[in-house]
Structure formats: structure tokens, C-alpha cells
Amino acid sequence: MQLEINVIDAFTDTVFKGNSAAVVITDNWLTDDLMQSIAFENNLSETAFMVLDDKGIYHIRWFSPFTEIAFCGHATLASAFVLFNKNPHLDCIKFSAKAVGILTIVQTDDSKIQMDFPNTKPEKVDSIPDSLLAGLSIAPIEVYKNAQAYFVIYNAESDVLTVARDNEQLKQLAPLDVVVTCQAKSADYKNYDFISRYFWPANGGDEDPVTGSAHTALAPLWAERLGKNHLVAYQASKRGGILDCVVAGDRVMISGNAVQYMTGFITV
């Protein structure tokens, strides 16, 4: 059996930047084992699989090389990019995923793809886990938590950019990952409201290049701290990525660019 596969760099308009995701569309679901094997073979942060139902809704699932993921923003962006390119007449796409329900995706006037996600604002943690303190070389100012990750607040961009981590300690936080973040203040980041990095050793990885799902928590967190609902974020990994975020009540709109890296076929 041959399957078309597209690899997209998400949250960037430049190849080799942003976060790469593979996209596979099938008429019917492959077995879980086969989807996991394909994701392992791809060895990208995530591979998205989609099946269209008779109501015009694309059911989507996301797999890292190690496990199925409940919610992945950059692979959703990559999937929408593929569908919009295949169907130029489309002005709206609806995805359905078990963990997040129905997601509405549109193209904006400036050619970005906007995704409508649930607001996952984290809550402040009063007792910081020892493994989190031991796992980061720079002590947090504050720590927040939601169902996905711990969110560590720093005062300076230099802390976010240079913090060292002990992955063995951070693995003890499973199933939660770790985000470090601060307000963007310097001239180098004058175009952004906040920056972040995302570490996921608890789920089998290291540092994620750009993490759309994390911004459904980061955007409302910084919206409250900065007193504004429209924010521009930069994820400061080696590849880097830019996310436009709008907080609207219990929803967070996240927009970004994407660019095609590869189209091909896999044989399974």
C-alpha cells in the first residue's frame, strides 16, 4: 500500500525553520500500530493522520515517534496547510479530535492560517516539585501548571535562552512537560510580547522547536500579566517560530505561516 505524505515546516515562512510535521490523509483509519510505526520512522516531532467523514469534518490524530499525543498545534497547522493547498476553494476547515473537540481553521487576510483552540490557561503552583527545581539551572520566579506542562516564569530573556536542564530530573515530572518563558523586553525581541522554550523529556523528547498547544496556555497567561488580548510570541528554539495569539474568553486563536518541505509516498 502506498500513502502520500507531506512534510511541512509550521509557524514559519522559511524552509528549515519552525517545527516540522508530517501529514498523512487516508480514506479509513490505519491501525494504531501502523500509525505509530510511521511516526517512529518519520522521526519528526509529530505525524498527523486525517480521515474525512461524510459531514465534511476531518478527524485528526497526532503521533510523536514514541506515543499518540492528545493535542498538537503545529501539526494541526501543517495539516490545514496541506488541505488548503489541495482544495483552493476552501475557506474553512473543521477538525475533530477527542481531547479538544471541534477545531475551526481559516485563512486570514494576510495569508496566515488561524486555528481556534480551547483556552488552557494554567494555574499558579504554590509548591514547586523538587524535580522541577533540580531539573533547571536557573530558579523560577513563579511556576504555573495545566494538564500539559509546568510553566516557569523568568525575569530575563537571557534566562530563557541559556537555562540548562537535567532531563533525568525533568522526566520525573511525567506526564507533564516544562515550558520556560518571560516577557520580551530587549531590542532583539522588540517585535514580540513574550518568548518561550518547550522541553519534553517526560514524554520521550528533548526540546520542541515550536509548540502551538503550549500557546493556548501561554497566551492567556501573558494576556493577563500584560493587560492585552492580542499578543505575538516567539519560541526561541534553534529553529525558532512565530505565533500570533488572540485570547477570546474560553478560546485562543493561534495563527502562523507554513511552508512546504516535501511531498512523497511511503510504502507500507
For residue 8, the enclosing domain spans 2-114+257-267
Whether 133 and 245 share a structural domain: yes
Whether 83 and 131 share a structural domain: no
- Is the preceding peptide bond at 118 cis, omega within 30 degrees of 0? no
| pLDDT value, residue 204 | 74
Whether 133 and 72 share a structural domain: no
Whether 29 and 144 share a structural domain: no
Whether 181 and 241 share a structural domain: yes
| pLDDT value, residue 267 | 96
The pLDDT tens digits along the chain (268 residues) read 999 999 999 999 999 999 999 999 999 999 999 999 999 999 999 999 999 999 999 999 999 998 999 999 999 999 999 999 999 989 899 999 998 899 999 998 888 999 999 999 999 999 999 999 999 999 999 999 999 999 999 999 999 999 999 999 999 999 999 999 999 999 999 999 999 999 999 887 799 999 999 999 999 999 999 999 999 999 999 999 999 999 999 999 999 999 999 999 999 9
| pLDDT value, residue 205 | 79
Whether 72 and 143 share a structural domain: no
Whether 50 and 149 share a structural domain: no
Whether 137 and 231 share a structural domain: yes
Residue 110, C-alpha cell as written in the block: 494576510
Into how many domains does the chain fold? Answer: 2
Within 8 A by CB and 6+ apart from 127, the residues are none
Q: CATH number, domain at 59?
A: 3.10.310.10
Whether 129 and 110 share a structural domain: no
What backbone phi and psi angles, to 5 degrees, belong to 93? -125, 140
User: DSSP E strands: which ranges in the chain?
Assistant: 2-10, 19-25, 46-52, 58-63, 68-69, 92-97, 101-107, 113-118, 123-124, 142-145, 149-153, 177-183, 194-199, 207-208, 230-235, 241-248, 251-256, 258-267
| pLDDT value, residue 203 | 80
Contact (CB, 8 A) for 244 and 201 = no
| pLDDT value, residue 44 | 94
Query: Looking at 4, 46, 142, 168, which residue is catalytic?
Result: 46
Whether 95 and 186 share a structural domain: no
User: Among this protein's residues, is 46 annotated catalytic?
Assistant: yes
Whether 135 and 243 share a structural domain: yes
Whether 49 and 163 share a structural domain: no
